[in-house]
Structure 1
Amino acid sequence: MSQKYRLSVFLDETHSILIARVFGPFPSAELCDRFIEAYAEIGEPWRYDRLIDFRRYTGHLEDEDRQRFAQTWAEWTRDFHDGRRVAFVTHDAVEEVYIQQDYASFPKDTMRNFYTADEALDWLTGRSGEIEFVPLALRA
């Protein structure tokens, strides 16, 4: 019996946050396709800070799919100079390393990894006194 997987995407219009949660053993290419489709359906996903929750993801996003998403994002945002905050939530140490390597592919955005969604939301909404938000683009 095959395991089920899904991507859930929600918009918090009050705080301008896009929340994406990945569940199960999503095949890499299909996950990349679903992210692109979901973001395209939103229309202007670059207007939102983003929380990407990988805690229940049991697959692995391959380099070519990470690069394909980064290229799509770069095309969508080429006329926008301001980036947003992006919080990743994962318990997988290997995936965390890959995510940190991806930071350079999104030079307009400020990205951080978190262990809990609460920490990530506190950072995204500016409620965290412990986690300083520095609104500078990351440099490779």
Structure 2
Amino acid sequence: MPVAGRVAFTLDATHRRLIIRYLGQIDGYEIVNDVIAYLKTVEDFWTYDVILDMRRFDGVILSADNEAFSRWWYAALPVEDPGHFTAIVSPDPHIHARLGVSQNLFPNHVLAVFHTLDEGLDWLKKSREARPVT
């Protein structure tokens, strides 16, 4: 029996890092709405690096869902998008294959896909050390 889905958030204001976990069976439309609602509560949300943890995700995110989030993102920014790092953690080969599509929606960001959370977090830390926030 599928687990009821939800989106969970962990905010690390010290390191300017946000972990978003997609848990169980939830559709992309709900994810987009939940993420937008949460980001509206985070001051200067666009200044955070992100880990999208999809390891326990049982749903599907359609291209239209990603496009809707991208439209919201750019409309909501009060400044030019400074671009940050996003580590996507997923065992799903389709997520890995669609990285280019996602990257095109967020051209100022650096996106990468990993199989484990440790790999994604390590990449995020090294990337941020190489390119400190100014």
How high is the TM-score relative to the length of structure 2? Answer: 0.87
1:101 Cα deviation from its structure 2 partner:
1.5
What is residue 53 of structure 2 aligned with on the other side? Answer: 53
**Equivalent-residue separation in structure 1 for 2:76 and 2:82 (angstroms):** 13
Q: Is the counterpart of residue 37 in structure 1 residue 40 in structure 2? A: no
Gaps of 5+ in 1: 128-132, 136-140
Matches within 5 A, 1:6-45: 6-45=6-45
Q: Decide whether the 8 Å contact of 2:87 with 2:120 is kept in 1.
A: yes
* 2:92 paired residue number: 92
The AA in structure 2 aligned to 1:98 is R
Instruction: Count matched residues.
Output: 132
Match of 2:79 in 1: 79
Task: State the SS of the aligned residue for 1:60.
Answer: coil
* 2:104 corresponds to: 104
Q: How far 1:81 moved relative to its partner? A: 4.2
Query: SS state of the match for residue 88, structure 1?
Result: strand
How big is the shift at 1:78? Answer: 6.1
Structure 2: gaps (5+ residues): none
Counterparts in 2 of 1:72 and 1:81: CA distance versus 1, 3 Å: closer
- Give the corresponding residue for 1:122: 122
Q: Partner amino acid for 2:26?
A: F
Supply the distance in 2 between the matched residues of 1:49 and 1:31 (Cα, whole angstroms). 18
Q: Deviations over 1:50-87 (max 9, x none)?
A: 00001111101112111100101111236224211110
Q: Alignment identity in percent?
A: 28
1:60-75 → structure 2 map (5 Å cutoff): 60-75=60-75
Partners of 1:81 and 1:40 in 2: CA distance: 16
In structure 2, the residue corresponding to 1:21 is in which secondary structure?
strand
Q: Kindly indicate whether the alpha-carbon contact (under 8 Å) linking 1:60 and 1:95 is maintained by their aligned counterparts in 2.
A: no
